Amino acid sequence: METAMLEKTIIKIGGLLALGFGEAGAEIIAGNMKNADGGVNAMIDGKKLQAIFGFCDIRNFTDATEILKEKVMIFVNQIAEIVHGTVDAFSGCANKNIGDAFLLVWKFPEIERDNGVREQLIDTATMNRLADLALVSFVKIIAGINKSSVLAEYREIPELIHRLGTGWKVKMGFGLHVGWAIEGAIGSEYKIDASYLSPNVNMASRLEAATKQYGVYILISNELYDIMSPQAQMNCRQIDRATVKGSQVPLGLYTVDLDPGRLSVAQRVMGIGGGMRGGGMGGGGLGADRLNKLRMRQQRALQKQKMWSSRTSISAMFETDPDIVTMREHLTKEFMNTFRRGFSHYQAGEWYRAREIFLKSQYMLGVEDVPTTVLLNFMDGYDYIAPPEWRGYRELVEK
């Protein structure tokens, strides 16, 4: 009896450690398990690795905090359930929750060589798949938060409507970048966090912040775009080339055009164990018993394995997933081709010609295309004459 209780306690402690540290903390936990004196040592070397970094942020969070007060914690956790669940389903992991923002990571898988050395697998096929998984997961999160009946209830709160307008709904911005980082423990003997340190992590955050300037949901760096599959690249649109705050290296900025307003809120249904569910991957009830939880974990594990099967095309979801298709059905080839022609002239410094073409694309879809307006306003500041120092990119001075 005592042995069984001890075993359960150890399992619970292990579960709490995994929940608290996340995937990034696996090395820290393993390293400290080898410590003979039983102490916890935060001062262990970090590990350099390659990964895709995603950063997302809840819009109008200050307003939501002031109005929801204590209930803002529930609000954030309801969003986190969709974000974390979707990222997990698409082979990523949640690393940090920073109030209104989340850091998500897709690490390149490791293999063990014959000499026992473990190293990351970074070949073309692996890069294509991981980049596609990261991209599609963010698109699915956007669908999830717009379809969630739980989050839709916040649209009916009078104080939020009064502050943010009748059309207010939960919105998020997303940034995606790829590169190296140091994975390890940050802190002291009083408090440690397992996280990633790198300019590439900061770049994902900068890209997310820039979505506000361009009026888009997602911004993707050209470095991530370059490792996507050709099929996924076809669903992205380059909207600028610029240096973001904190960096002198110009980046191609890409987005995925989406109109989540076309989605309908999902009906609220009973989840496993009697809990209520309301749209979005990862949305589930809290009353599931151990058997159902085990089945759910097994199902998620099988689903993640399927994501890496050569018979599964992640990029094909742009044509087969009902939510993604609905959010992109307003796009036309004429619009995409017109914008690309205008952008080509913009980069070449032929701004009078770019203006003529952008004025055609600006309202071609029936509503304003904000990235077009942003470039028109930028060129207008120079009377549509490219300055002598123009090199095909500009500086984003806003954070």
Coil/strand/helix, residue 118? strand
Stronger pLDDT, 287 or 75, i.e. the higher one: 75
Average pLDDT, the chain: 87
Retrieve residue 63's tokens. Answer: 């307003």
The conformational region for residue 349 under phi > 0 = left, psi -120 to 50 = alpha, else beta, is left
Arithmetic mean of pLDDT, 18-25: 54
Domain end residue (candidates: 300, 325, 350): 325
Q: Which amino acid is at 200?
A: N
- Looking only at the bridges linking them, the beta strands covering 218-221 and 172-187 are parallel
Question: Is residue 227 within 8 Å of residue 178, measured between CB atoms?
Answer: yes
pLDDT, tens digit (0-9, with 9 covering 90-100), for 119-142: 787 889 999 999 999 999 999 999
Retrieve residue 89's tokens. Answer: 């389903």
Same domain, 336 and 319: no
Q: Is the pLDDT of residue 170 over 90?
A: yes
What is the length of the chain?
399
- pLDDT at res. 35: 59
What is the span of the domain harbouring residue 234?
46-325
Same domain, 143 and 247: yes
Domain end residue (candidates: 293, 325, 357): 325
Residue 276: Cβ-neighbour burial (10 angstroms; 0-12, 13-18, 19+): middle
Alpha helices in the chain (DSSP H): 2-21, 26-33, 61-68, 72-89, 124-147, 149-152, 158-164, 199-214, 222-225, 230-233, 290-307, 317-320, 322-328, 333-347, 351-361, 370-380
Q: What is the CATH number of the domain that holds 236?
A: 3.30.70.1230
Q: Is the pLDDT of residue 40 over 80?
A: no
Q: Is the pLDDT of residue 18 over 60?
A: no
Q: Is the pLDDT of residue 26 over 60?
A: no
Residue 254's beta-bridge partner residues?
Answer: 220, 238
Coil/strand/helix, residue 296? helix
Number of domains in the chain: 3
Which residues lie closer than 8 Å to 333 by C-beta, 6 or more apart? none
- pLDDT at res. 126: 92
Retrieve residue 106's tokens. Answer: 């897709």
Q: Which of 143-152, 221-230, 283-292 has the lowest mean pLDDT?
A: 283-292
Same domain, 157 and 228: yes
Nearest by Cα to 176 from 205, 199, 209, 196: 205
Same domain, 309 and 345: no
Stronger pLDDT, 118 or 206, i.e. the higher one: 206
- pLDDT at res. 41: 63
Same domain, 113 and 240: yes
pLDDT, tens digit (0-9, with 9 covering 90-100), for 258-294: 999 999 998 765 443 333 444 444 444 445 566 777 7
Domain end residue (candidates: 296, 325, 354): 325
Same domain, 278 and 141: yes
Coil/strand/helix, residue 322? helix
Neighbours of 128 (CB within 10 A): 19
Q: Is the pLDDT of residue 252 over 80?
A: yes
For 144, phi then psi, to 5°, come to -60, -45
pLDDT, tens digit (0-9, with 9 covering 90-100), for 303-350: 888 888 888 999 999 999 999 999 999 999 999 999 999 999 999 999
Q: Is the pLDDT of residue 367 over 90?
A: yes
How far apart are alpha carbons 16 and 134 in whole angstroms? 26
Same domain, 52 and 126: yes
Same domain, 100 and 170: yes
